[in-house]
């Protein structure tokens, strides 16, 4: 495993620097109940560098000094491989277990950021939609973009999000997530049964916006299902 420990990569007075943004966003997601305990994660890619939150740290207590920096591209950032780091914290921390799944969003969607939440709304959606797809239409979904990085959807579009089955180890979701992204090229995220959701965007702002919009759609979709209401009025346009 090749690595350097360049602390200058995470020291900045700029509030929009990824090492400052990630702790701020994690605190926000904690308040929303998306990343309880140490679960969930976020990454931000800027050019040839990827900034990733640590694993095992309470999300509302993450500091810039906890952030990992990896080069992009690299062949396989999964555990048990010869990963390359530009910066590892001095503390005995591990980078997010989501790392290989984040890489799917970079390699397959050219994303600039990917967010993973354990939102209860997302989990409930995977339980009430027992098949491989979550669908909803005729809602205010224009904050979601085709493929997560394309044009915004409209009120008349039917949003589709693939659902994959969970595994005991998070990194083992990498291949099934990639398969779902290839099968559903217009999807802005991937749900994981009984687990949560991965959402990406061209940058952190768009990833955050789409995560918020999708969480709203999961919540209202679950309520509609439980009330016996159809969540799709027509299926002429599937996106």
**Are the CB atoms for 43 and 113 separated by under 8 Å?**
yes
Domain ranges of the chain: 2-226
Write the CATH number of the domain with boundaries 2-226.
3.40.225.10
213 is known to lie in a ligand binding site = no
To which residue do tokens 């350097």 refer? Answer: 4
Integer Cα distance of 109 and 145 in angstroms: 12
**Are the CB atoms for 101 and 174 separated by under 8 Å?**
yes
Q: Reply yes or no on whether the pLDDT at 238 is more than 80.
A: no
State the Cα torsion 162-208-201-140 to the nearest 10°.
60
Question: H helices of the chain, where?
Answer: 18-31, 99-109, 120-128, 174-183, 204-226
pLDDT digits (tens, 9 = 90+) for 109-122: 999 999 999 999 99
pLDDT of residue 77: 85
116 is known to lie in a ligand binding site = yes
Confidence of residue 142 (pLDDT cuts 50, 70, 90): confident
Mean of all residue pLDDT scores within the chain:
91
What sign does the dihedral 43-44-50-54 (CA atoms) show?
Answer: negative
What's the whole-number mean pLDDT along residues 166-171? 92
43 is known to lie in a ligand binding site = no
195 is known to lie in a ligand binding site = yes
Confidence of residue 1 (pLDDT cuts 50, 70, 90): very low
């Amino acid at each position: 495993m090749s690595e350097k420990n360049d602390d200058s990569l995470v020291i900045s007075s700029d509030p929009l620097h990824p090492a400052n943004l990630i702790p701020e966003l994690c605190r926000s997601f904690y308040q929303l109940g998306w990343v309880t305990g140490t679960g969930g994660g976020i990454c931000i890619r800027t050019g040839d560098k990827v900034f990733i939150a640590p694993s095992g740290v309470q999300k509302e207590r993450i500091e810039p000094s906890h952030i990992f920096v990896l080069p992009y591209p690299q062949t396989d950032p999964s555990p048990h491989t010869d990963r390359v780091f530009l910066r590892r914290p001095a503390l005995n921390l591990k980078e997010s277990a989501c790392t290989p799944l984040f890489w799917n969003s970079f390699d397959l969607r050219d994303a600039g950021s990917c967010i993973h939440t354990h939102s209860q709304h997302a989990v409930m959606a995977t339980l009430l939609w027992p098949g491989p797809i979550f669908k909803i239409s005729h809602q205010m979904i224009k904050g979601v973009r085709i493929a997560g990085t394309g044009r915004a959807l409209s009120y008349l579009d039917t949003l589709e999000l693939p659902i994959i089955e969970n595994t005991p180890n998070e990194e083992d979701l990498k291949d099934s997530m990639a398969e779902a992204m290839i099968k559903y090229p217009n999807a802005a995220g991937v749900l994981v049964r009984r687990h949560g959701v991965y959402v990406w965007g061209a940058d952190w702002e768009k990833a955050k916006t789409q995560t918020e919009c999708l969480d709203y759609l999961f919540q209202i979709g679950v309520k509609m299902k439980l009330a016996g209401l159809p969540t799709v009025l027509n299926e002429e346009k599937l996106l």
